[in-house]
Structure 1
């Protein structure tokens, strides 16, 4: 099974109901132990199907536009495209990726708040017209490079928390929206809607109420200028939790019914990224080096006292210049699990995890409790599908993890029953028997 990030000719293991994700991970670790201990992902693409069903049950008729930067692997994009989801692209490379899947320009939004003129021209050339804008400078740049553009005014929201104060914030004020509309009139550019974004870290769902109310004000303002607006983009910020999805829907639905009812002709869309892919991918990493704190403190030849508990530092073959890049700007939302079996009463020690670069920024986990591990042992990180599988650094000869895609028969049947399994997509599937056993001839394999 091919699994390289850069390999477009990927395959999807179709699992019998007797095979589990743990079986796949066990078998891949077995393979890597014998062929070279390289970090790898296992992606359960069936979870994308389940998430989409959940979205339709809770959030319909709000149409999702998936932010490609969240996870741009070919399996994810092709499954989501097959499900009829739109795409939010932040650059030319992402636009090319989704266009290669046959996605129509009407289902693509160019969302970067700071666009390159050459990439605006590319969007114009390929018919991608809908794009976001939050300043007069950006608007003038778009007017010069794409006169047929249809703009969504990106308005700011009052959702800044202590954790976000250091992050860059985008979006314009209500007062400045009037100025932008005047500029759009002057340059002959269409304004067709409003976008806002509320972070997944925002705990106050009342922020949605303020944002939707502000959006209604912008729509009313647009009528004064003669703009016919028909799109409201409520952004991302969906964590993947069904409870959070229902809570957001409970807050926004009454306001949408009042301010943007069906008869208004306004299409409400959203940009769920993490929601779709976070739980679908599990990362396995290998310990490549180990240090004990007491080794640094005690002179050579001096034995450690038994009462002194060691503190272990482990170095793994992936880090912040690879799959843990998001750790540089936010907290890690997953905890490491030890792959090897150990006794329940085995002592746990204070440990830290670091990437392979030997860089002071390359700390993945500052403090956790783990049994004593050895070089060559494996750690498992769940919920690693978001913000980890796009373009990655080649710092320090970083080797990209392999990706192994899988899907259960029940999820595959659901896609077929819904009539959304294209012939092109079906060619990527191959059968994986339930009798996965390490060392057997039926073993789940990396062979094409």
Structure 2
């Protein structure tokens, strides 16, 4: 998606000029490639989703961008956190997140993973099968569990219910067996899939969970107190999505049918961080091939643009020198692998070696899946607008 000068207002021009100055300063200080993380956008996204789901406790899922600046910013906002690995436990611990603000939601864990989280103080875990349930016999005095259900969603970026989750019948069996073993079941969880575009997926899953919660109560088993509706809330990569408040309206409506005693939590990840980072990479060299200019950049598919492979990446990008006539161009990554091509059909102005390209909406599933292939360095993540908020919290 390329914004031309004809479609850009005077205010947007001023904003873009200010951003360009900032980018030049940061690249001069940190070199290219660079990932600029804006903590103000993290705050904005968190507040927007909290307003859209006012009665839901948001647990940020670290997976799409496990960066200390994101964690500390969200901690200041009062967020909770969704962890899945020992490394994520260590990260939130290092930032000072209280353990009672975390849950560990990986459905499959080693005993050492369970003990690592418990040693930190996180005591809520997720299971989706009897084999996993039995791992908690040794920890039943400390841990409590959520049973994860599967709701398939082939339209999502990642249909997470393909790999994890169980049926309602299997969930009831797990809950019954847990009661026999003396293991505490706190509630249910599900994830309808990453970048879910249809809110009715949540509505249907919530309704199914409500029936199971009632079934558990009717069977005389301990009442379930928590429903985790997962993540997957979509972000707008191309300007075509409805605002998040409108998207969540059906979810808010179906939640009014739930018991007042049921605590509802969620695990947003992409929605919080995707718009919060921009990538800056520079032209290393160029060549004319088949009527197009190939620009070889210092970041690529094996780096920050790994989301092109793993996450259906379709990032809005443009040259930082964005004015002037445009020509058919190709953006290629720096490695010697022929698949390392970022964009094959893009119209760009004439670029010189050293000129920069800016890509937006790159906060989710980009740096986390980057590699050091060919020994090209990964883009450094630089957080901005973090100290200002820390001073404001301190009343300075």
What is the match of residue 315 of structure 1?
296
The structure 1 residue matched to 2:348, chosen from 370, 378, 386, is 370
User: Residues 191 and 338 from structure 1, CA distance in 2 versus in 1: closer, same or farther, beyond 3 angstroms?
Assistant: same
Indicate the structure whose relative CO is greater, using CA pairs within 8 Å and at least 6 residues apart. Answer: 1
What is the match of residue 143 of structure 2?
149
Measured against aligned partners, the alpha-carbon deviations of 1:170-229 in whole angstroms (never above 9, x if no partner) come to 211111112212331243211111111123543332222210111112212332252231
CA contact (8 A) 1:81 1:101 kept: no
Aligned mates of 2:59, 2:91 — CA distance in 1: 15
CA contact (8 A) 1:124 1:146 kept: no
What is the match of residue 114 of structure 1?
108
CA contact (8 A) 1:320 1:364 kept: yes
What is the match of residue 234 of structure 2?
239
User: Residues 133 and 21 from structure 1, CA distance in 2 versus in 1: closer, same or farther, beyond 3 angstroms?
Assistant: farther
Count of residue pairs brought into register by the alignment: 378
Segments of structure 2 that go 5 or more residues without pairing to the other structure are 1-13
What is the match of residue 170 of structure 1?
164
1:315 Cα offset (Å): 2.2
Measured against aligned partners, the alpha-carbon deviations of 1:119-163 in whole angstroms (never above 9, x if no partner) come to 111112222111111112222224345653211111111322286
1:329 Cα offset (Å): 2.2
User: Residues 21 and 90 from structure 1, CA distance in 2 versus in 1: closer, same or farther, beyond 3 angstroms?
Assistant: farther
The structure 1 residue matched to 2:363, chosen from 382, 385, 388, is 385
CA contact (8 A) 1:117 1:145 kept: no
TM score, norm. by length of structure 1? 0.76
- Pairing 1:90-101 to 2, within 5 Å after superposition: 90-101=84-95
Aligned mates of 2:374, 2:106 — CA distance in 1: 29
1:253 corresponds to 2:252:
yes
1:292 corresponds to 2:270:
no
User: Residues 382 and 189 from structure 1, CA distance in 2 versus in 1: closer, same or farther, beyond 3 angstroms?
Assistant: same
Look at both structures and tell me which one has the larger radius of gyration over its CA atoms.
Answer: 1
Aligned mates of 1:161, 1:137 — CA distance in 2: 30
Aligned mates of 2:354, 2:179 — CA distance in 1: 64
1:370 Cα offset (Å): 1.9
Aligned mates of 2:149, 2:275 — CA distance in 1: 30
User: Residues 76 and 278 from structure 1, CA distance in 2 versus in 1: closer, same or farther, beyond 3 angstroms?
Assistant: same
Aligned mates of 2:203, 2:323 — CA distance in 1: 50
What is the match of residue 41 of structure 1?
35
1:164 Cα offset (Å): 5.0
What is the match of residue 404 of structure 1?
382
Aligned mates of 2:151, 2:167 — CA distance in 1: 9
User: Residues 412 and 144 from structure 1, CA distance in 2 versus in 1: closer, same or farther, beyond 3 angstroms?
Assistant: closer
1:209 corresponds to 2:208:
no
CA contact (8 A) 1:286 1:376 kept: yes
User: Residues 244 and 189 from structure 1, CA distance in 2 versus in 1: closer, same or farther, beyond 3 angstroms?
Assistant: farther
What is the match of residue 263 of structure 2?
267
Aligned mates of 1:126, 1:39 — CA distance in 2: 36
- Pairing 1:210-225 to 2, within 5 Å after superposition: 210-223=204-217, 224=219
CA contact (8 A) 1:143 1:149 kept: no
CA RMSD of aligned residues (A): 2.9
Aligned mates of 2:374, 2:60 — CA distance in 1: 32
What is the match of residue 76 of structure 2?
82
User: Residues 362 and 341 from structure 1, CA distance in 2 versus in 1: closer, same or farther, beyond 3 angstroms?
Assistant: closer
Deviates more, 1:361-370 or 1:124-133: 361-370
Aligned mates of 2:156, 2:363 — CA distance in 1: 25
Aligned mates of 1:58, 1:96 — CA distance in 2: 31
1:20 Cα offset (Å): 5.4
TM score, norm. by length of structure 2? 0.86
Measured against aligned partners, the alpha-carbon deviations of 1:414-447 in whole angstroms (never above 9, x if no partner) come to x83xxxx258xx8xxxxxxxxxxxxxxxxxxxxx
User: Residues 143 and 387 from structure 1, CA distance in 2 versus in 1: closer, same or farther, beyond 3 angstroms?
Assistant: farther
1:325 Cα offset (Å): 2.2
Aligned mates of 2:314, 2:382 — CA distance in 1: 22
CA contact (8 A) 1:278 1:384 kept: yes
Aligned mates of 1:159, 1:322 — CA distance in 2: 29
Segments of structure 1 that go 5 or more residues without pairing to the other structure are 1-18, 295-309, 427-448
1:248 Cα offset (Å): 3.5
